[in-house]
Amino acid sequence: MSSTSATDRAHAAVWSAPGTLDMTDLEVPDAPPGGLLLEVIANGICGTDLHLLNSTPARPTVPGHEIVGRICEFGVDAPRVDAGGAPLSHGDRVALFPWVPCRRCWQCERFGPAAAVCSEAFVYGIPPEFTGVAAAGQGPAGASALTGGFGSHLAVREGTYLWRVPDQTPTARASLLDPLAVAVRAVAMARTPVGTWDEVLRADAIALVQGAGPVGLLVTAVLRAHGIGKVIVTGSRPARLAAARRMGAETVVDVRSTTIEERHTAVMAATSGRGCDLVIDCTNDPAALVEGIRSVRRMGTVIEVGNMVNTGTEVLLDPASDICLKNIRLLGMSVNPPQSYAEAMALLSRADIAWDSLITAQMPLSDPKAALRKLAEPDSIKVVLVSSDGTSS
């Protein structure tokens, strides 16, 4: 357990222009009222971070939203329990739900707190202009600048959902909480009442996961945890396709060495000519959605989770033959409730899933530029920034 005094200085990578991360010394703030002060011990680098860093934020920002920290200080009236009711103490490790909803707007009142619901939410590590929420949710100008995981400390705001990391869960693995929660939600969206015509989460189902990046690999693991009979994964890097097998894929297909027609033939052969029961697109490639829709069986389900960043690419669909005549369910996803994170934290404790094999590098929190370069290497899957304290936990 580390201690923090008023004279300590924090350091953080501050993003202010495309491709620019400047290491900056900042004052360590007091814990906010109702919140916490954390020492950041791990932060996973997300694909969203890579997209954002090529843009210009409206104001300098400390990136990073896949955050694990150690409690340094409790603010006045801060709860001493996590989102699941587990007691919290100084020195405990916690992982965050990065969206802090206002709980007052029409969306919060109507739908409950969730990512991409609240119109005035605060999001750790992501400026409001990139999330579509009002700038008012970011707090006063004098609020702590330590609001992202690319820093040594984090001022955790009142109302933040967080979970105590179980003692048996390694710190770097705990940083998978956010992408795993995305995978949990993507699979949950396929649920229907038992016995209905559109039920696809069955032991005899065949699922296609498009994209072997971190989210696609985690979706594969969640599908197998749900007892799905067979999972096919398409992707483009040998290391990631090998990881897909470790996560439970029965069949992997390299999109670089196959054509769309060859992949369609392979899917039809694996499904007795019917098509897959469930397709989950995790690629951020609009063309993959079209391919996925044409790979699903009649009355099947397609979940779109990968195309979260507008690439400027348009695709052609025939609503009649591709959607209506096949009677498919086509669902887009961005909203994610805290419950997905609670389920994800429970899953991370399972020893029968090869979580740690997805983390191909742990890099110093003090050198995020090196971590970004590492992530660009062909064999990389997930790169996690860790403090010297985080590597030993």
**What does the pLDDT look like over 314-351, one tens digit per residue?**
899 999 999 999 999 999 999 999 999 999 999 999 99
Nearest to 97, CA basis, from 160, 17, 20, 157? 160
Nearest to 184, CA basis, from 108, 115, 85? 115
User: Taking a C-beta distance cutoff of 8 angstroms, is the pair 126, 20 a contact?
Assistant: no
Residue 144: what pLDDT?
54
Identify the band that residue 50 occupies on the pLDDT scale cut at 50, 70 and 90.
confident
Residue 309: what pLDDT?
74
Residue 6: what pLDDT?
43
Report the 10 Å Cβ neighbour count for 188. Answer: 18
Average of per-residue pLDDT across 99-127: 90
Query: What is the edge-to-edge ordering of all strands in the sheet holding 206-210?
Result: 251-254, 230-235, 206-210, 276-281, 296-304, 329-332
Q: Which domains does the chain have, with CATH numbers?
A: 9-178+337-392 (3.90.180.10), 190-332 (3.40.50.720)
User: Taking a C-beta distance cutoff of 8 angstroms, is the pair 121, 100 a contact?
Assistant: yes
Identify the band that residue 4 occupies on the pLDDT scale cut at 50, 70 and 90.
low
pLDDT at 2 over 70: no
Out of 143-152, 181-190, 233-242, 278-287, pick the least confident. 143-152
Q: Which residue has the higher pLDDT, 14 or 284?
A: 14
Identify the band that residue 130 occupies on the pLDDT scale cut at 50, 70 and 90.
confident
pLDDT at 142 over 50: no
- What is the torsion angle, in degrees rounded to the nearest 10, for the CA atoms of residue 221, residue 226, residue 232 and residue 236? -20
pLDDT at 120 over 60: yes
- What is the torsion angle, in degrees rounded to the nearest 10, for the CA atoms of residue 328, residue 292, residue 340 and residue 391? 170
Nearest to 200, CA basis, from 291, 334, 297? 297
DSSP labels, 314-345: -----IIIIIITTT-EEEE---B-HHHHHHHH
Residue 212: what pLDDT?
97
pLDDT at 393 over 80: no
Average of per-residue pLDDT across 1-7: 46
Identify the band that residue 8 occupies on the pLDDT scale cut at 50, 70 and 90.
confident
Percent of the chain with pLDDT over 70: 94
Identify the band that residue 369 occupies on the pLDDT scale cut at 50, 70 and 90.
very high
**What is the rounded distance in angstroms from the CA atom of residue 104 to the CA atom of residue 134?**
13
Out of 45-54, 315-324, 367-376, 378-387, pick the least confident. 45-54
User: Taking a C-beta distance cutoff of 8 angstroms, is the pair 177, 348 a contact?
Assistant: yes
Out of 56-65, 127-136, 207-216, 224-233, pick the least confident. 127-136
Average of per-residue pLDDT across 228-242: 96
pLDDT at 390 over 90: no
**What is the rounded distance in angstroms from the CA atom of residue 152 to the CA atom of residue 70?**
11
Average of per-residue pLDDT across 145-158: 94
Average of per-residue pLDDT across 287-316: 92
Average pLDDT, the chain: 92
CB burial string 130-146: b at 16+ within 10 A, e below: bbebeeebbeeeeebbb
